[in-house]
Amino acid sequence: VGGGVGPRVRIPCLDGWDGLWLEYVVPWPLGLLFTKEALCRYNHVFQYLFRLRRTNLGLDQAWCRLRRKGEGGTPSSARTSVASLARGGGGGIPFDSGRQLGGGRGGAFEACRRVRHEMAFLINNWLTYLQVDVVEAQYQAMVERVAAADKDFAEVQRAHRSFLAALSAQSFL
């Protein structure tokens, strides 16, 4: 678990899932291309995308709970989950506190829904950017460079290093 590509890349572990790390025993001669440093970079990108996807899933689950609450039900799981989101942990703002703030049907509840919506919008678009505009685009560029290398292994290595550098840079890692 863990490891580093260099002093710039550090992804903190917040729970057990954040420590998930891929290991691969690279057979000869692929070890010349997929070095330990390259595998570390792949792991950092994987962990970053995995964390974003888990965040996306959590926001989707919060939407389901908020929707049920908005339909008039007050399931305890909805109250607990949204309150937990509101405080970043446990406890939180009771849904009826919006009435005290002059919000009519629940100003705090509506604020929670808006914040969740804005966060989901940001995470969805960020994931799309990373998967389509970064990973897929850079992969296609690398495939084209490798195809044009015409049996020049040094050029294949350069293409792979460029791919990894572009992934890290464009992902802001």
Share of the chain above pLDDT 90, in %: 49
Residue 159 makes CB contacts below 8 A (sequence gap 6+) with 142, 145, 146, 149
Number of residues in the chain: 173
Specify the fold of 33-170: Four Helix Bundle (Hemerythrin (Met), subunit A) (1.20.120)
Contacts by 118-125 with C-beta closer than 8 Å and gap 24+?
Answer: 119/59, 120/56, 120/59, 120/60, 120/63, 123/52, 123/55, 123/56, 123/59, 124/56
Q: Give the per-residue pLDDT at 100.
A: 44
Per-domain residue ranges of the chain: 33-170
Spatial contact of 9 and 173, defined as CB atoms under 8 Å apart? yes
pLDDT tens digits, one per residue of 52-66: 999 999 999 888 887
Residue 95 pLDDT greater than 80, yes or no: no
Token pair of 63 as six digits: 């939407």
